[in-house]
Structure 1
């Protein structure tokens, strides 16, 4: 295959005396004309290749039909209305509706599909004024992490003139005649520039952004996140400070005592706390300090070392709690699935809240001390179902189900545990058609993530159906680095222990081969973001185990990730090449730097997006350019760049197109074409 020409430079960096070439440094400028032309050529070649896949158009139609079902979110009460999001099936964005009672007809509140011509502008509600007369609407264009805040009058559904730009990683916390939010100063032209000096502001309705009051800024520490929240009783302002994706520091201000200054109540290096509710002048919090599986405590903000356990740590991770007038709702993770129970006000067990089978359970937004909660439930073979729960008597009722043509009874879901390289037992889920015979030749997709304390719990994905119908096996791995078994599990895949994540994945893949489910030529591996790093690492470490690789929006340059947008926030997870000790282990697995000369790597498609300002496209650009240059030319090494999209698909149309291209590549390279 003849690839587009890519200019090389003589760029060489010195890391503690080690010379590291970076000949494709210019591709980091994703807005240059040269890079734009290069992307067009790469996209054209990828599209030409995928268009040759037999049955590709039929696959696209099938996916569109599978995605065409009505879906809903859990409703939440604000003022006189219940609000919820709904998609009829193929709408690019979920539409926001409301109704005065759950039995009343719903009325349209806001349709984000009208905000752009191509359906790539999203909008969500984040914060209502105390009287529910106004709501802040967060708007994002083309999948970018940058957001614009606008304000709507909920009575008239008219926009106010207020508009706030350059908002990122923020909510809106209303108090008095305005709200708090977090954002940055206006960045330079490059979408990849490092974001620094995250600030907290207060915006008063009717005033321009230039007049917003600066509430908090740390001029000595530019690489920190700052977000402000307010307890539901409006008593405390809570300032969360973090240097990255793990660990935080908390300062509070007690408004009931006319406090003027924030005081620190939590500062334990590498550990986290979150404020859940208040009890008199004390705070109900969750923390993983001295409790890797987390616990709930009651803390005195004037004497923060003086606390009592409300819910002691258990053998499985505590995920979240809700305080009601009748007790506590607590959700846990048990072997990668959600388990929910109700406790009394002192944390003693009352009852389990049972759902149809193992799966993922989410708790919808709620007012303080709710009389009613809404749960969402889904699994690998069950689309999202919503239940209502009366907190007084514990009555769980079906509220809304999702009508689809999918038949759960036709599929089998198994959970299997495998010993990793160091003996650690690592679980994975396997999904396939019921009655499928294991003959050592089944096409298999192995998916993973393994990082940032994120847990992969069962979820419904109709885009898998075409693969499963062709007697495929879909595998979801629960690797160290995730949060499935608490903070110790997370720490087992961080920094210098990151290789454990790859070893876990390799051990599962070897198990699938050894147990005669499949063979290397029939295995495709897939992952996105940190999971893209996983794919890149497996591709460069154990290419003999796989027949195809798809890395999506991946972190692939482990020596320079911290130099773009908010990549510096991942140094707590990965380490940083600015430190000699970290550099020495990062260079060993960094996918970009471990591509061998003249090696026949399996077919690879790298997917990214032009508006991904979280994991910038440069990672994918440089990796593919290097692969196309160094690898033998026997297999395809393709780059697919989604236009007007970000770290995730910016519309339903793009979601379907991505799924079609992903499966087309799998079908082509695992011998599954019609």
Structure 2
């Protein structure tokens, strides 16, 4: 399928100008006189009521949904884009397998199923059956499987489900052989793993449930680890760590593979954690391995008394160290795989460690034994990103995946002893990578910093400034944007579009220094990097202002919101999704206070307040300014970045927009922050985003 956009002259654009400003009568949100004072400065918050689940808010949300759907329905190729997405999405997707007890498990989606189904094969009889089908959890496929854990024998299992995308989960416990539920369902579980201790029960984490009416927005700041003993009521579960005695915002518990150790990671922010360990075999209390929150550390493997810890202590690019349970304090840590100039990632399986080095956002993998001796560098199928290589100690057959922006994700089987690999599962996607280009460039940001960017497009594309382009970014929380295939981006490129991804400061592509360079008082570096990326694309002829859309979600939604208020002239279209947009109050909702390492809070000091206010998207919408055509997306069950951020930002933009560019709020029902969405929800939201972007760029139709 060779599809190119038909670009029309300004005189006959069938786009936003189809509606005049007079026709754009937006729904009216309830406006109040709320004012807050920060260090003597009064800050108005006129749309504060949109934070509440009031009848007025519900009415306004319904009106916004209707308004946006009416506008989107006028796009002549909206269904065409959705059908293209549906066609390319309709291919079989199979995960890497994993063994538990006498079975081999794997996930499979036939193509357009709402949720992937978990199958298993009996290792003796080779008979295959459905183990769990999340499509049967709910009528619309909006309840998803969010976690699954087996005990060591593989005869017991517990899995958590998310309803409507909420971070609040339920845990269901079953006999893994018969698949029958064997215990009561655990309720109100959040940000939790499930880790079994023998056949007795398992550890999980949760918070006290917020007061009625604030379940999706109330603060959750005291995490607790419980042990659930099979056959007992949840109300009898024993508190193991956290709560009032050791208050921490995020606590995770895990039992080592050999079942000897209980490991606790405790943190108050998304960076830095304490590490505790208890010897379940020899008894005794928890031993605190490191104190304070100045470093990141996790135990990735144990071997008898030896503990292998992955850490950034004295190593901003990460290192793997070894210590002993007899004295595990940081002073005793010895390098197994030392820090290098490239960021390190670690996985273990088959009796080995696998070190993934990120070089300008591209992966290279080396295999080491438990002493740190190099076994081999692993041959990879190309330049891209790698996942996998993890497994149990005794398993020699491991799996890894490879992907980049133009190559669909392929799974490989790898023999840990011989180093040989072979294709295990290659998806049959209607997309030919040979017809596309994925190039990496380096551009200069405002302060002279060199920033890498991947630019992806169809071969033969003319750099005449008229190519519809999506500039996508994130820039925060030490998250690295590495090459990965997406059928949504594939359709964009099939329609003649360019997809560009810069590796902004605030991410983890170059280690802790790169991350810290995009936090707190250096947060504006992220926006400068993004703006410079857009200017590079325009100066080099890839696109121009009239054909560029800026896109990002969550922290990336903040990025888009800040960019469009700092430089409203940079792009024609803005697509902020589930964004953090009120930087003065983000820490008042759910787990938002834990993001303070990245952002700081308005209560810290006057300088921090003024800095946050200077770029907070909500507080920098100015009357009389022409903002890009904007589609703000959020979800009614988003209890991570609450929809009030998007609601208030949208109301401000609609009230103050000075030109014909529309401001839409697309609100997804029965969905959360992103995880667990049904295929139909993804298809609908993605097709609306692509259609809106093309339409606002002045494209009348797509040529088949």
Mean Cα displacement is larger for which, 566-575 or 463-472? 463-472
**Out of 202, 205, 208, which is 1:182 matched to?**
205
Q: Which residue matches 1:61?
A: 83
**Out of 659, 684, 689, which is 1:657 matched to?**
684
Give the match's secondary structure for 2:700. coil
How many angstroms does 1:36 deviate by? 1.1
**Out of 624, 628, 633, which is 1:602 matched to?**
628
Give the match's secondary structure for 1:310. strand
Question: Counterparts of 1:42 and 1:370 in 2: how far apart (Å)?
Answer: 54
Question: Counterparts of 1:562 and 1:200 in 2: how far apart (Å)?
Answer: 23
Question: Counterparts of 1:57 and 1:282 in 2: how far apart (Å)?
Answer: 59
**Structure 1's 610 and 432: CA in aligned 2 closer, same or farther, altered over 3 A?**
same
**Structure 1's 365 and 393: CA in aligned 2 closer, same or farther, altered over 3 A?**
closer
How many angstroms does 1:323 deviate by? 5.2
Q: Which residue matches 1:237?
A: 262
1:15 matched to 2:41: no
Give the match's secondary structure for 2:647. helix
Question: Counterparts of 1:143 and 1:102 in 2: how far apart (Å)?
Answer: 37
**Structure 1's 96 and 331: CA in aligned 2 closer, same or farther, altered over 3 A?**
same
Q: Residue by residue, what CA displacement relative to the aligned partner does 1:534-584 show, whole Å, maximum 9, x if unpaired?
A: 000100001111111010000000000000011111011111111113212
What is the TM-score when the length of structure 1 is the normalising length? 0.97
1:669 matched to 2:683: no
Question: Counterparts of 1:345 and 1:203 in 2: how far apart (Å)?
Answer: 34
**Out of 415, 420, 438, which is 1:413 matched to?**
438
**Out of 177, 190, 195, which is 2:220 matched to?**
195
Q: Which residue matches 2:313?
A: 289
How many angstroms does 1:110 deviate by? 0.8
Q: Which residue matches 1:586?
A: 612
**Structure 1's 218 and 488: CA in aligned 2 closer, same or farther, altered over 3 A?**
same
Counterparts of 1:246-285 in structure 2, within 5 Å, are 246-259=271-284, 261-285=285-309
CA contact (8 A) 2:550 2:560 kept: yes
**Out of 224, 227, 230, which is 2:252 matched to?**
227
How many angstroms does 1:124 deviate by? 4.3
Gaps of 5+ in 2: 1-23
Give the match's secondary structure for 1:298. strand
Mean Cα displacement is larger for which, 34-43 or 103-112? 103-112
**Structure 1's 68 and 102: CA in aligned 2 closer, same or farther, altered over 3 A?**
farther
CA RMSD of aligned residues (A): 1.5
Mean Cα displacement is larger for which, 119-128 or 272-281? 119-128
**Structure 1's 102 and 113: CA in aligned 2 closer, same or farther, altered over 3 A?**
farther
**Out of 468, 479, 495, which is 2:504 matched to?**
479
Gaps of 5+ in 1: none
Q: Which residue matches 1:459?
A: 484
1:646 matched to 2:646: no
Q: Residue by residue, what CA displacement relative to the aligned partner does 1:220-249 show, whole Å, maximum 9, x if unpaired?
A: 665521111111111211111001111100
User: Deviating runs (4+, > 6 A) in structure 1?
Assistant: none
CA contact (8 A) 2:134 2:143 kept: yes
Q: Residue by residue, what CA displacement relative to the aligned partner does 1:53-94 show, whole Å, maximum 9, x if unpaired?
A: 121111111111111111121111111111111111100011
Give the match's secondary structure for 1:432. strand
1:160 matched to 2:182: yes
Counterparts of 1:62-461 in structure 2, within 5 Å, are 62-101=84-123, 104=126, 106-176=128-198, 177-189=200-212, 190=214, 191-219=216-244, 222=247, 224-259=249-284, 261-303=285-327, 304=329, 305-322=331-348, 324-325=350-351, 327-363=352-388, 366-461=391-486
Q: Residue by residue, what CA displacement relative to the aligned partner does 1:114-171 show, whole Å, maximum 9, x if unpaired?
A: 1101110001452212221110111110111111000111111112232111111111
How many angstroms does 1:471 deviate by? 1.9
Mean Cα displacement is larger for which, 584-593 or 466-475? 466-475
Mean Cα displacement is larger for which, 196-205 or 294-303? 294-303
Question: Counterparts of 2:131 and 2:324 in 1: how far apart (Å)?
Answer: 41
**Out of 491, 503, 526, which is 1:501 matched to?**
526
Q: Residue by residue, what CA displacement relative to the aligned partner does 1:245-285 show, whole Å, maximum 9, x if unpaired?
A: 111001111223222x1121012533100101113312101
Give the match's secondary structure for 1:158. coil
Question: Counterparts of 1:397 and 1:648 in 2: how far apart (Å)?
Answer: 33
Q: Which residue matches 2:4?
A: none
Question: Counterparts of 2:247 and 2:644 in 1: how far apart (Å)?
Answer: 23
What is the TM-score when the length of structure 2 is the normalising length? 0.93
**Structure 1's 289 and 102: CA in aligned 2 closer, same or farther, altered over 3 A?**
farther
Give the match's secondary structure for 2:66. helix
Q: Which residue matches 2:638?
A: 612
CA contact (8 A) 2:349 2:392 kept: no
CA contact (8 A) 1:77 1:366 kept: no
How many angstroms does 1:369 deviate by? 4.5
1:518 matched to 2:540: no
Give the match's secondary structure for 2:220. coil
